[in-house]
Copies of this chain bind each other. A is one copy, B any other.
């Protein structure tokens, strides 16, 4: 975790102010780097209701800084285009009316180059903001804005994959693909973890979202967790054993999804002749046995675990087990796939988002932030499941033991996989 590098939020030394600004503009730059291989067309289209166009992500993250930081804190700030708030507000009821989510892909205007100009305008004003000492309130908002844009960076990548996977030409987003993995990733093993009262949630001084707080104690039983994520090779075995045809393995809502959606394999898998392939950001590739399985729903993860005679870990089991796990390698366009397991091990951070058995709910004593940021996390605490760990697509500084990602159990377009747990 790069958390240690973060300036303590309470400090205000010049050096750290500088570091904040460096991180800010590095983040802003990475968004453009992500968009770089895309044509204006690619940046504009919305693959499905759950996804957003790249251009929309670029503009929305910019509006976030304009609306929450520049408007209130930069004297004399000139709004770039006052119609953009309507276009690029995502879901903040407290910040006014907005364009309907499923229609984001209709926004061919502003054009990609106009959004680029919007970003430049806001970035320039963000630089001006740093000409004066940054106040504590501003610092917090900048920190939130960085983290917010990082979340959207991962979404940009998953939404691009959704778009390209829907294209019969199966285009590649990038070409610097990793080598095929060795055939097998190793058998793996169970690792025991002692139960008892553990503290979970966010405790360090670094940035964290409100949904990671308050830190609190939980009571766990002894349990075991596996040394690697479930691999594609294991998933193929599940498929060959009739996993998608056996209702007794599935939750009722999961089986309804299997039947209603015709699921027969993970999202983005397609069979060409005798060989299963997988659409990736590097285009279509044969499925590699040793890599963690990705793009499975909670329903599929849960059914697999039942088939395997195991279960998913709870989010707290996962968090405790992850303490001491190595930090992931830095984000790298040449590594947009989870690394294959090696010698039966795959790390808990930075491979795939791992579904847990925990519903996304508030921690005891949770309080939403005041104001618009109160809509950031809390209002989604229903019907979703917690994922932990971070994926190969997760930007640096966005991975930590207490981090809680959350998606609906039927969703599959994120880089989601699983790791097995069992009772001791």
Contact = CB atoms under 8 A, between A and B. Distances in A.
Interface string A213-244: 00011110100000000000000000000000
A379 B251 contact: yes
Name, among A106, A112, A365, the residue most crowded by chain B CB atoms within 10 Å (CB to CB).
Answer: A106
A38 to B, nearest CB: 8
Contacts of A375: 248
A91 B423 CA distance: 29
Contact of A109 (B47, B105, B171, B381): B171
A111 B41 contact: yes
Interface in A32-51: 39-45, 47
A382 B219 contact: no
Task: Specify how many copies of this chain sit in the oligomer.
Answer: 4
B250 A365 contact: no
Describe A's contact surface by its main secondary structure.
Answer: mixed
A15 interface: no
A217 B195 CA distance: 12
A20 interface: no
Nearest to A43: B41
Contacts of A167: 106-109
Interface string A276-317: 000000000000000000000011001000000000000000
- A-B pairs, top 9 by smallest CB distance, nearest first, are A359-B359, A93-B247, A41-B108, A219-B219, A41-B44, A40-B40, A42-B108, A252-B379, A106-B166
Interface of A: 39-45, 47, 55, 83, 86-87, 91, 93-94, 99, 103, 105-112, 163-164, 166-169, 171, 197, 216-219, 221, 247-248, 250-255, 298-299, 302, 357-359, 361-362, 364-365, 374-375, 379-383, 409, 423
Given A106-B167, A252-B380, 13 more contacts: A39-B40, A40-B41, A41-B111, A42-B109, A86-B168, A87-B169, A91-B252, A94-B248, A108-B167, A109-B164, A253-B380, A255-B379, A382-B409
13 contacts: A39-B40, A39-B109, A41-B55, A41-B111, A42-B108, A45-B45, A45-B106, A109-B167, A109-B171, A197-B219, A248-B375, A250-B379, A254-B382
